Amino acid sequence: MIVVTGATGHLGKLVVEGLLDRLPADQVVAAVRTPEKAAGLAERGVEVRHADYTEPESLVAAFKGADKVLLVSSSEVGRRVPQHQAVIEAAKQAGVRHLVYTSAPKATTSALVLAPDHKATEELIEASGLTATILRNNWYNENYADTIEQAARTGSFVGSAGDGRVAGATRADYAAAAVAVLTGEGHEGKIYELAGDVTWTNADLAAEIGKATGREITYVDLPADEHVKALTGAGLPEQVAGFLAALDANIKDGLLAETTADLRALIGHPSTPIAVTVAEVVGTP
């Protein structure tokens, strides 16, 4: 039996769908904070269990009888480590044979602003003694959806990533990799650096939006402090704006630029190009 945490989230939902393509529904458990949101999965024969990263007792119950658990990393930056620790301890208590975790690129050595929580989690997993597989997911193409929509509407977007390149792929690509690991053999103890096959810059992204919309799209690169001002001026809280500017600084430094063959090898086909995501967001046939 395979348990997927965060099964109604963007990534978890895709993993569950991928598992249902390969396994009977009674072998898949959707562990979710709000079971009502998973009613559609329950109707298809998937067992839905309540699981809240902040309620350890719910996690132990959710993992009962599980052979494998996919820990989809929490979206609550700043609270991730204790939440992940609760999942790891519950998995150990429940006798889970194989834990799979969605981490970040080179989490234990990278200066990426997102890396510390993932580094701490990987260390907790190692210390737990659980057999595990680490999926270090690079950037999601969908992270740019709002930027693409805004640029298509206004003709431009701003950032501070310079000529930094991103080796992104779609959530569906990363979900397919997780499904391959959860349903395959020989992945125990492995760390996979998952990234897209082709990198792009913000200027490249602007060009793709231009192709999809049939209009000129301009990327305006700003100093980091000006980028923060632009984001707060658009209504974002200062803390969020600073975080996004820090991510752009990481991209400028090349921290998301490395391509690997791991994703392509696991999913059996090339990663999805950013042009496809752009076309989907702007509604191009």
Q: What is the CATH number of the domain that holds 49?
A: 3.40.50.720
Q: What is the pLDDT of residues 84-101, one digit of tens each?
A: 999 999 999 999 999 999
Q: Is the pLDDT of residue 236 over 80?
A: yes
Q: Three-class SS of residue 94? A: coil
Residues 153 and 225 in one domain: yes
Pairing of strands 28-32, 47-50: parallel
Q: For residue 187, is it within any domain? A: no
With a CB cutoff of 8 Å and minimum separation 6, the contacts of 31 are 3, 4, 5, 6, 7, 49, 50, 51, 59, 62, 63
Q: Considering the domain boundaries, does residue 175 fall inside one? A: no
What would the pLDDT profile of 136-194 be if each residue is shown by its tens digit? 999 999 999 999 999 999 999 999 999 999 999 999 999 999 999 999 999 999 999 99
Residue 236 lies in a domain: yes
Query: What is the pLDDT at residue 35?
Result: 93
The answer to whether position 178 is within a domain reads: no
Specify the higher pLDDT residue, 214 or 75: 214
Based on the fold, state whether residues 130 and 252 are members of the same structural domain. no
Is pLDDT above 70 for 284?
A: no
The per-residue pLDDT for 77 is 75
Is the pLDDT at 283 greater than 90, yes or no?
Answer: no
Domain that holds residue 208: 142-165+197-258+268-282
213 contacts 150 by C-beta, under 8 angstroms: no
Place of tokens 């707060």: 232
Alpha carbon of 160 to those of 50, 112, 202: distances in Å?
41, 15, 9
> Do 146 and 95 reside in the same domain of the chain?
no
Does residue 285 register a pLDDT over 70?
Answer: no
CATH number at residue 253: 3.90.25.10
Q: Which of the four pLDDT bands, split at 50, 70 and 90, describes residue 29?
A: very high
Is residue 76 scored above 90 in pLDDT?
A: no
**How many domains are there within the chain?**
2
Are 132 and 69 in the same domain? Answer: yes
158 belongs to a structural domain:
yes
* Mean pLDDT value across the chain: 95
**Domain identity same for 24 and 118:** yes
Percent of the chain with pLDDT over 90: 94
Asked if 112 and 201 sit in the same domain, the reply is no
Query: Where a domain ends, among 137, 155, 183?
Result: 137
The rounded distance, in Å, linking the Cα atoms of 178 and 12 is: 10
Question: Can you tell me the mean pLDDT for 127-140?
Answer: 97
